[in-house]
Each structure stands twice: as structure tokens, then as C-alpha cells.
């Protein structure tokens, strides 16, 4: 289960860590901003071809479906090949898709099948890029600097992909589809170029892992399941991500029907989520130092519960916005700490498969949560549906405290043996 990395691919020297952190954060911010734009542009392109809600929703589905279908297989790929090369290939595929869409737009040849194919290709590229980038951190950044690197990476990924990207997409699409796609392609190109500055070598030289692809996937899943702390984080993350999916799915209805918000107020509400994420990225090191990693992660369980519980009790914009802020901040605190823990506990030769499995739990749970909350809201009402998800989030507190003990977290923070 161990792997031997090329000499330069071990823990990065401290003098490389700062440079590599800047490069990885820059790559993550730029490409996730472009990803966020495509999530707005492609569905809007579909609305010009059809009035069918199902067909339009299908375009959005193609962008996220690869997380459910191929995430585990991508983990195997990341553990076998140069991770920086995989990032280049992912961005190359994105550039080809964007160029093809621009050509179709200019020639008035855009069709729904073309948008579905483009969405699937971009979705696959996103799976490869995010899994590879997360797996690069242990070989690019020294252990003492990983918490800060993970904080900036998580903040860049969340803020750019989920908030800044869609906002920019809305502005760019007003100037024309070609303009929006052109800026997106430029973002992917800049992301490709910035990786040249990454110092080190990032290819696993050999591994004692053998067997079929499915056997290698199973090995990664066993790594996650057999370690109590990793298993707890995966299961808790499944519940938390389902809560996020539920909140994001229903909050437009809450905002319009219950809170009677205008577009400006609705934008303010959503921005609270991003603001919380940004504050979490900026303060995670301080929070960990003051409260400890255990209580910092517990803040996400409480914050997520507050986010989905707020609409149960009030329609006040500021209270619901405060819940969104706490949810966004807690989400980053959890992401940073869980990544730092897993980078300590998981062998580098298995980290790609572990990261893919962990993201399968989180990204896969979001659409499930969105679907479930819709059914519950239809049967029981919006407030009752949110209340059930709030209870689910709070139900993770006791298992977390029993498993993420100070002793377990101290073991995860123990100094790594020299390579």
C-alpha cells in the first residue's frame, strides 16, 4: 500500500512551499472562476434552444454527473500518473470544448446534444483537475505550511466556483455568449501557463499496489473506511453536503415566496455564504490556534445546522443571512482541517483515490439532498423540510465528539517521518 516517489516529489522543502502555494492557489482560483462561469453560460445557452425545464436542467446535470460516475476511477488515474500533467490535460480538454462552442456559436450551429457533450467533458475535466490539485499539496508544500495552503485552496475553490464565477457569468453573458466563452477560455489558458511555475516533480515512481482498476479503487475505499477518523469525516461530510444541497435547492423559493426578497436582497443573501467562506479561509489558522482543530471542525456542524434552521424560525433577511454566513465559514473550517488530517494519515500513493472517494461522498450527497428536500417540502412544507435537515446536521455532533477525540487528532498531527 506504500508508494515510492521520485526524490523531488517528497515533502517539499520550505523554500519551495511559498512559491508552490501561490501557484496552486492561483491555478485553483482562475480555473474555478472559469468553471463557475460555464455553470451559468451553458444552461442559459440551452434556454435559447428549448423551453423544456427537463432539457435545460439536463445541461446543468452533465456538469456534475461525472462526480458520481467516474470520481473513483479518476482517483486511480491520479495515483498512477504525473499530477501536474493531469492538470495540463484537464485544462487542454477545457480549452478544446470552449473553442468548439465558440465556433458553433459563430456558425449558429449550437444544439442540445452539443451542449450535453460539452457539459460532460467539462465535468470530467473538473473531476480530474480538483482531485489532482488536492493531491499535489503534500508533495508541493512542506508539512508546517500545509494548513495555510489548504485554507487558501479551499477558499479559492469555494468562493470562485460557487459565487464569483456565477456572478461573473451573469455579467459576461449580458455582453454575449461569445464574449463569455472567450473569457472562460482565457481563464483556462492562464491556469495552464501558471503551472509552469510549480517547483518539483509530482509523479509516483512506483507502487506496491497492484490488481485491476476496481481492486485499486477498493484499496482506496478501504483506506477511508478502516481509519475511524477518516470514516467519521466521510460520513459526517455526507450529511453536511446533503444539507448544503437542500439549502441551495430551496433557498430561491424561500427568498421569493416566504421572504419576498427583491433581486438585490437575494444577491445579498447569497453573498453572505461566500463572505463566510472567505472569512473562514482568512481565519482558520487563528481559529485552530485559539480553539483547537476539534472545536474548529465542530463549528461546521453547528454552522450548517444554523444555516438550514434559520428559515424554519424567521424570514428576517439578516438572521437568515447570518445563518448562511455561519454555514459558509464553518464549511471552510471543516474543509481545511479535514484535508490537512487526510494528508497526514493517507499514504501519498493512495491520496488520489482517497480524495476521489471523499469528494464522491460530498459532491454526490449534494444532488441527493436537493432531491430529498424537494420531496419533503412538497409533502410536509418548506419549514418542516428544513427542520429535518437541521436535526440531521445536529445528529452528527455526538459521533464526531466521540471519534474526533483530542488523542485521535493529536495522532493525526504527529510529525511525519522523514522520507
pLDDT attached to residue 205: 56
| Residue 359 contacts residue 78 (beta carbons within 8 Å) | no
pLDDT attached to residue 86: 92
| Residue 236 contacts residue 29 (beta carbons within 8 Å) | no
Mean pLDDT of 207-227: 73
Percent of all residues in the chain with a pLDDT value above 90, rounded to a whole number: 27
Measured in whole angstroms, how far is the alpha carbon of residue 25 from the centre of its chain?
A: 14
pLDDT attached to residue 419: 37
| Residue 409 contacts residue 232 (beta carbons within 8 Å) | no
How high is the mean pLDDT of the chain?
A: 82
Mean pLDDT of 345-351: 79
The DSSP H or E segment spanning 193 is helix 177-194
Mean pLDDT of 317-340: 90
Q: Is the pLDDT of residue 203 over 80?
A: no
Q: Taking the CB of residue 19, how many other CB atoms lie within 10 A of it? A: 16
pLDDT attached to residue 114: 93
Closest by CA to 336, choosing from 161, 163, 148, 157, is: 148
Better-predicted residue by pLDDT, 347 or 325: 325
pLDDT attached to residue 193: 93
Look-up of cell digits 470520481: 71
How many CA atoms within 13 Å lie on the side-chain side of 215? 6
Q: Is the pLDDT of residue 190 over 90?
A: yes
Mean pLDDT of 323-349: 87
Better-predicted residue by pLDDT, 362 or 394: 394
pLDDT attached to residue 305: 95
Q: Is the pLDDT of residue 3 over 50?
A: no
Taking phi over 0 as left and psi of -120 to 50 as alpha, with beta for the rest, 199 belongs to beta
Look-up of cell digits 479551499: 154
Whole-model pTM?
0.70
Percent of all residues in the chain with a pLDDT value above 70, rounded to a whole number: 90
Closest by CA to 345, choosing from 1, 40, 69, is: 1
How many CA atoms within 13 Å lie on the side-chain side of 122? 32
C-beta pairs of 247-252 under 8 Å, 24+ apart in sequence:
247/307, 247/308, 247/324, 247/327, 247/386, 247/389, 248/366, 248/370, 249/369, 249/370, 249/371, 249/373, 249/374, 250/373, 250/374, 250/377, 250/382, 250/385, 250/386, 251/311
Closest by CA to 28, choosing from 145, 149, 153, 138, is: 153
pLDDT attached to residue 150: 82
**pLDDT tens digit sequence for 112-153:** 899 999 999 998 998 898 888 878 888 888 887 888 888 888
Lowest mean pLDDT among 28-32, 322-326, 368-372: 368-372
Better-predicted residue by pLDDT, 170 or 66: 66
Mean pLDDT of 10-33: 78
Q: Taking the CB of residue 229, how many other CB atoms lie within 10 A of it? A: 18
Mean pLDDT of 42-46: 82
pLDDT attached to residue 206: 54
DSSP assignment of 376-393, as one string?
HHHHH-HHHHHHHHHHHH
**pLDDT tens digit sequence for 267-297:** 678 778 778 888 888 898 899 999 999 999 9
pLDDT attached to residue 263: 60
Amino acid at each position: 500500500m506504500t508508494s515510492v516517489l521520485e526524490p523531488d516529489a517528497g515533502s517539499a522543502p520550505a523554500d519551495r512551499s511559498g512559491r508552490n502555494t501561490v501557484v496552486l492557489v492561483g491555478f485553483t482560483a482562475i480555473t474555478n472562476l472559469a468553471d463557475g462561469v460555464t455553470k451559468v453560460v451553458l444552461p442559459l445557452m440551452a434556454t435559447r434552444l428549448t423551453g423544456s425545464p427537463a432539457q435545460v436542467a439536463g445541461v446543468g446535470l452533465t456538469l456534475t454527473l461525472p462526480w458520481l460516475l467516474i470520481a473513483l476511477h479518476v482517483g486511480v488515474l491520479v495515483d498512477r500518473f504525473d499530477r501536474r500533467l493531469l492538470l495540463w490535460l484537464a485544462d487542454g480538454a477545457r480549452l478544446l470544448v470552449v473553442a468548439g462552442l465558440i465556433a458553433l456559436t459563430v456558425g449558429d450551429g449550437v444544439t442540445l446534444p452539443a451542449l450535453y457533450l460539452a457539459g460532460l467533458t467539462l465535468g470530467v475535466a473538473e473531476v480530474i483537475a480538483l482531485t489532482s490539485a488536492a493531491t499535489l499539496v503534500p508533495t508541493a508544500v512542506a508539512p508546517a505550511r500545509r494548513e495555510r495552503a489548504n485554507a487558501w485552496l479551499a477558499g479559492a475553490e469555494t468562493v470562485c466556483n460557487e459565487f464569483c464565477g456565477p456572478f461573473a457569468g451573469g455579467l459576461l453573458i449580458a455582453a454575449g455568449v461569445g464574449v463569455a466563452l472567450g473569457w472562460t477560455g482565457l481563464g483556462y489558458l492562464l491556469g495552464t501557463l501558471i503551472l509552469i511555475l510549480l517547483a518539483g516533480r509530482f509523479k509516483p515512481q512506483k507502487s506496491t499496489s497492484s490488481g485491476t482498476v476496481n481492486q485499486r479503487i477498493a484499496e482506496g475505499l478501504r483506506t477511508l473506511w478502516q481509519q475511524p477518523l477518516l470514516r467519521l469525516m466521510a460520513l459526517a461530510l455526507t450529511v453536511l453536503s446533503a444539507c448544503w444541497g437542500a439549502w441551495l435547492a430551496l433557498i430561491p423559493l424561500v427568498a421569493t415566496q416566504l421572504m419576498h426578497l427583491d433581486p438585490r436582497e437575494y444577491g445579498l443573501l447569497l453573498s453572505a455564504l461566500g463572505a463566510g467562506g472567505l472569512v473562514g479561509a482568512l481565519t482558520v489558522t487563528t481559529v485552530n490556534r485559539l480553539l483547537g482543530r476539534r472545536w474548529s471542525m465542530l463549528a461546521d456542524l453547528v454552522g450548517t445546522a444554523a444555516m438550514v434552521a434559520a428559515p424554519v424560525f424567521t424570514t428576517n433577511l439578516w438572521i437568515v443571512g447570518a445563518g448562511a454566513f455561519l454555514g459558509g465559514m464553518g464549511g471552510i473550517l471543516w474543509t481545511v482541517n479535514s484535508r490537512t488530517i487526510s494528508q497526514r494519515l493517507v499514504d501519498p500513493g493512495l491520496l488520489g483515490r482517497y480524495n476521489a472517494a471523499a469528494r464522491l461522498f460530498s459532491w454526490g450527497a449534494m444532488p441527493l439532498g436537493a432531491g430529498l428536500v424537494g420531496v419533503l417540502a412538497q409533502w410536509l412544507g418548506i419549514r418542516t423540510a428544513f427542520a429535518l435537515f437541521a436535526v440531521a446536521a445536529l445528529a452528527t455532533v455526538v459521533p464526531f465528539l466521540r471519534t474526533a477525540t483530542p488523542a485521535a487528532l493529536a495522532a493525526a498531527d504527529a510529525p511525519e517521518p522523514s522520507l
